Chain A
């Protein structure tokens, strides 16, 4: 069973088409890079998979379910923005995730927060932007979800934090689940990906395994991306 499936998916914002007839599947156990330049439709696709937007045409499903209340208990979503309530302390945030998600692994989250020297009483508002993003990622990755949807997890952070984020993703995701990482910083994520989907102007340009690209094209994903999206 596919964890994420789209068929002829379309979404428009007014007269502008954000997605035009997108079709693909993501299988369990794969780490998939959703790669494309800014404005290519990556965030729209992830929002549709979370039920934050409704499609204009076509079909999207998560674990054979239309996005909604049930599917959300299977999806762990990292938004592009810091969405965790800033007034909460780290401990209150743990309570919050524990209350709403039965798959939340509190001990794992506490351990990861401990590695960052974050005390449960520390208020999120008092943390730096980078630390807030790490805390949000820890919460997302501490769930034993079926699908992780990570929207620009390494955008706007320093290289050391990028390494921390990627190692956290690899070290803590449920191996039976699929991970979709949306980004345009290909060189940084390439090493962790099994598969890539190139997306541009709402259309899929390419879906292939990373090994396939290296063998068939004889180049890295980053080099291929630069060639495909050359201005």
Chain B
């Protein structure tokens, strides 16, 4: 059922995101063309038009970033906590599946947005011989990698994988933070959105306070006295990344538990 929820979630969000991507790519092509023929033109009308297209490209980048963020919140709010909630929460699926469908689809759109923006920037920079230069650069990079030792190549790959996992988990935890506030706020009988905003800042304050207390506590324990370890730089990077992943998992798990609790036990659709 999770797969079906994800399928329909992509259907609902794709109708907004895909046209936004098309607009972004169209303005990227326009910016490329304006850079070649319009911006340096002696005709002021062409020059102004070229500037407007480049400005539109900037707005399009801002627009897709904003939309992927707004959509993440809006879909959870509208699809689960408004009238559509009567349909969604009477489907034979669990609350966990609802949350995961929203989280996974939001994370995928965040990643897709970043990739499309990179693609759009490459389109703007494209000129004759661009691909030759690009593949030359790739060749040099691969040539450089071949000179690495196996341990170095392995470490590099693992660090990249750890970074990718960390990025994905950050996106998931980021979404869950908003979902928890919305779910808690909408369990109230009145002023649900106001409560949601209050819950968001309340959760932030509690987590920051708790985190600070934990750090102070760990500092007082003086754990370093018991650790006789002088790590190599690469080992320190691995430990740092793994610890960050652990912290983000705990952070996300707390918000996941809060969201699940309120949607399961205190759902209060209008």
Query: Which residues on A are within 8 Å of B, measured CB to CB?
Result: 13-14, 47, 50-54, 69-70, 72-73, 75, 77, 79, 81-85, 87, 92, 96, 99-101
Contact = CB atoms under 8 A, between A and B. Distances in A.
Interface of B: 1, 4, 7-8, 11-12, 15, 79, 83-87, 89-94, 189, 265, 267-269
Given A72-B92, A73-B92, A96-B8, 9 more contacts: A47-B269, A52-B90, A54-B265, A69-B94, A77-B90, A83-B85, A83-B87, A87-B15, A99-B4
Nearest to A50: B90
A100 B92 contact: yes
Given A72-B90, A100-B91, A82 B83 contact: yes
26 contacts: A50-B90, A52-B89, A52-B90, A53-B268, A54-B265, A69-B92, A69-B93, A69-B94, A70-B92, A75-B90, A77-B86, A77-B90, A79-B87, A81-B83, A83-B83, A83-B85, A83-B87, A85-B79, A85-B84, A85-B87, A87-B12, A99-B8, A100-B4, A100-B91, A100-B93, A101-B92
A13 B86 contact: no
Contacts of A13: 189
Contacts, number: 56
Given A14-B189, A92-B11, A99-B4, A72 B84 contact: no
A96 B269 CA distance: 22
Contacts of B94: 69
A84 B87 contact: yes
Nearest to A80: B86
A148 to B, nearest CB: 12
Contacts of A54: 265
Contact of B84 (A51, A77, A83, A100): A83
A119 B203 CA distance: 47
A15 B145 CA distance: 70
A158 B92 CA distance: 33
Contacts of A83: 83-87
Contacts of A75: 90
Contacts of A14: 189
Contacts of A77: 86, 90
Given A87-B15, A96-B8, A99-B7, A51 B87 contact: no
Nearest to A72: B92
Contacts of B12: 85, 87
A155 B92 CA distance: 27
Contacts of A51: 89-90
Nearest to A76: B90
A191 B196 CA distance: 46
Contacts of A100: 1, 4, 91-93
Nearest to A92: B11
